[in-house]
Amino acid sequence: MKSASINIFIVDDDKILSSVLRGEIRRNFPEKDIRFSTFESGELCEPHIGSQPDIAIIDYHMNSRVRSAMNGIEVIDLFRKKSPDTSTILFTSDSNLGLAVEALTHGATDYVQKNDFMLRRLNVSLYQCFQLRDLKRRNHELKKLLLYASTALAMLAVAIYYFSSSPLFNPAH
């Protein structure tokens, strides 16, 4: 049984890699109803962030066509501002530990380096994002249930108080 649709943004200026990622993710998570949106730059992605995607896979260097294009950290900052519940994964060829720390400091959920193991590592990261998404949804549902239960208890307390002070139910008054 498929769960609710999962929206994934891929923000990378390499169209071929974006296509490979879509295929790999679909192949490794066939039970998930995944919808993809791909963008070649943060500037092209920005107007769509308000749709609150579940996950964004963001390249760090997106200046192959437009030299002044935003970098991945700037795109992560946009997501933090406009869609704070979106899990963001910085996906880059840089093996710079400082960049990984910077990405996580800016709110990235994970950092995946483009190398021979990138697809395996990305699948692990996505699995964790799916688990986090499910936990957040369950938490939201439990909060709603708790609110309903506390409201019902408050109404019951008011009813008990009202009826206990009513002469119909308390002949001593």
Strands 87-92 and 55-59: parallel
Q: What percent of the chain has pLDDT over 90?
A: 60
- What pLDDT sits at residue 2? 45
Cα Rg for the chain, rounded, in angstroms? 24
Residue pointed to by tokens 């990235």? 108
CATH superfamily of 6-137: Response regulator (3.40.50.2300)
CB environment 80-95: b (16+ within 10 A), e (fewer): eeebeebbbbbbbebe
Mean pLDDT of 49-57: 95
The mean predicted confidence, pLDDT, of the chain is: 88
Tell me the pLDDT tens digit for each residue of 154-171: 888 887 777 777 666 666
Q: What residues does each domain of the chain span?
A: 6-137
- What pLDDT sits at residue 1? 40
Prediction pTM value: 0.78
